[in-house]
């Protein structure tokens, strides 16, 4: 599952035109914190893997190459960045430990992951070491920028449920030391511990904020058509990762923004069989709502009649047209939405889709990424079709043709 030696971003196909996105879009993207690199130093089947991420990225590789585990690591970092407890993020930590990892003298085993977030502060790097056995805890964390370690934690006393933290001060004392809990990430806790009185402290706070903002607005999505076919209880109107409650969300979004809904319907029309005049939800007996397609001739088709690929296409289209207020995500509430980028993680992006559907979805993702408010990382078995699908409708900052960054993974579990 390790990344291949060429697994840093590579073009989807040579010789095709690059991105034609506007300079304004490129500037907009540059101003918002976003994750540009995922590091899997020792995680599941990955060893020393460095995955470079663009605004629109496809992780490509056969079954068993580690695409899903890479997306799970990204999602785990996002949840930790939001302040979640370690046990909630890793309910089965043993599965994250590399298979051939040997315990040390104290019978400890674990895993290491990290990422880089770009933004106004330049590249900011976060690396985390997690002990999975015999008990789950964070044993090391490092936040750095421009060669300066801004925060570093280490487990000094295994008998205590804390790590010793030291953060950059650059005042009368070069660093400040204090204990932090070992069951959650230290970076999002820094605003509660750092006063911001010195230039060094303000630099720490700015870097921590950039990292947290880049990580917080992440939506991991893998639509489950089997559950989408059934009526669902009326609820919050916020879409779940499996899109089980798609009908409830349609009930909300159709009423909130007619223009966006019309664009959504037009996109659905290109990927679903038959006439599509509207996609809507209506109440049913028992306090539930069900989703329907209006065929325009008085016929309404329930989602139960749609094919597997049609349902996945419809759900992913809805995800791309909505935002943090509709998706079940936890954005940084203290930061204006205009300064945040929603990142969609789509496992099995091409699963069940025909070539036309996957091309239309990728073009839609490219347009949304071009606007600067969304990033997209999808897992596919093969990405040879991607450049032709996107063409010149790509995104600023992508390395491949059409602005698509393709990261190739293989089944080789050895170090690249």
In a domain, 72, yes or no: yes
Whether 135 and 163 share a structural domain:
yes
In a domain, 263, yes or no: yes
Whether 200 and 229 share a structural domain:
no
Whether 27 and 160 share a structural domain:
yes
Query: What average pLDDT does the chain have?
Result: 86
Range of the domain at 257: 220-321
Whether 147 and 268 share a structural domain:
no
In a domain, 343, yes or no: yes
The pair of three-digit structure tokens given for residue 102, joined into one six-digit string = 């040997």
In a domain, 272, yes or no: yes
pLDDT of residue 215: 93
Whether 207 and 249 share a structural domain:
no
CA gap 126, 143 in Å, rounded: 5
In a domain, 198, yes or no: yes
Whether 229 and 152 share a structural domain:
no
Q: For residue range 305-327, what is the model confidence (pLDDT) as tens digits?
A: 999 999 999 999 999 998 777 78
In a domain, 18, yes or no: no
In a domain, 399, yes or no: yes
pLDDT above 60 for 7: no
Q: For residue range 335-391, what is the model confidence (pLDDT) as tens digits?
A: 555 566 889 999 999 999 999 999 999 999 999 998 877 899 999 999 999 988 887
Whether 66 and 48 share a structural domain:
yes
In a domain, 403, yes or no: yes
pTM of the model: 0.88
Domains of the chain: total: 2
Contact of 180 with 165, CB cutoff 8 Å: yes
Cβ-based neighbour number of residue 359 at 10 Å: 20
Whether 191 and 106 share a structural domain:
yes
Whether 70 and 147 share a structural domain:
yes
Whether 272 and 199 share a structural domain:
no
Whether 247 and 171 share a structural domain:
no
């Amino acid at each position: 599952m390790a990344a291949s030696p060429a697994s840093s971003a590579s073009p989807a196909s040579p010789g095709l035109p690059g991105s034609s996105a506007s300079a304004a879009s490129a500037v907009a993207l540059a101003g918002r914190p976003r994750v540009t690199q995922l590091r899997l130093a020792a995680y599941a089947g990955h060893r020393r893997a460095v995955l470079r991420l663009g605004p629109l990225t496809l992780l490509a590789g056969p079954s068993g190459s580690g695409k899903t585990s890479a997306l799970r690591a990204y999602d785990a970092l996002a949840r930790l960045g939001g302040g979640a407890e370690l046990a909630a993020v890793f309910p089965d930590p043993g599965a994250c430990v590399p298979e051939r990892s040997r315990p040390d003298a104290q019978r400890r085993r674990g895993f290491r992951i990290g990422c880089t977030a770009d933004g106004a502060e330049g590249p900011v790097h976060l690396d985390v070491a997690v002990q999975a056995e015999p008990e789950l805890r964070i044993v090391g964390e490092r936040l750095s920028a421009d060669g300066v370690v801004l925060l570093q934690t280490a487990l000094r006393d295994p008998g205590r449920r804390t790590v010793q933290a030291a953060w950059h001060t650059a005042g009368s004392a070069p660093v400040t030391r204090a204990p932090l809990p070992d069951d959650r990430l230290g970076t999002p806790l820094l605003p509660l511990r750092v006063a911001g009185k010195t230039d060094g402290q303000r630099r720490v706070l700015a870097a921590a904020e950039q990292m947290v903002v880049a990580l917080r607005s992440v939506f991991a999505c893998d639509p489950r058509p089997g559950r989408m076919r059934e009526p669902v209880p009326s609820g919050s109107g916020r879409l779940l990762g499996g899109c089980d409650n798609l009908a409830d969300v349609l009930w909300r979004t159709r009423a909130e923004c007619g223009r966006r809904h019309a664009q959504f319907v037009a996109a659905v029309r290109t990927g679903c069989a038959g006439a599509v005049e509207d996609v809507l939800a209506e109440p049913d007996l028992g306090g539930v709502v069900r989703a329907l397609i209006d065929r325009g001739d008085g016929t309404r088709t329930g989602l139960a009649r749609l094919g597997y690929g049609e349902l996945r296409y419809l759900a992913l289209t809805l995800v791309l047209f909505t935002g943090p207020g509709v998706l079940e995500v936890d954005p940084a509430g203290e930061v204006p939405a205009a300064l945040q980028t929603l990142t969609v993680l789509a496992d099995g992006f091409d699963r069940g889709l025909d070539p036309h559907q996957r091309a239309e979805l990728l073009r839609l993702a490219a347009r949304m990424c071009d606007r600067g408010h969304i990033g997209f990382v999808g897992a596919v078995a093969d990405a040879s079709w991607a450049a032709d699908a996107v063409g010149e409708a790509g995104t600023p900052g992508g390395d491949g043709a059409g602005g698509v960054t393709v990261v190739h993974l293989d089944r080789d579990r050895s170090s690249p």
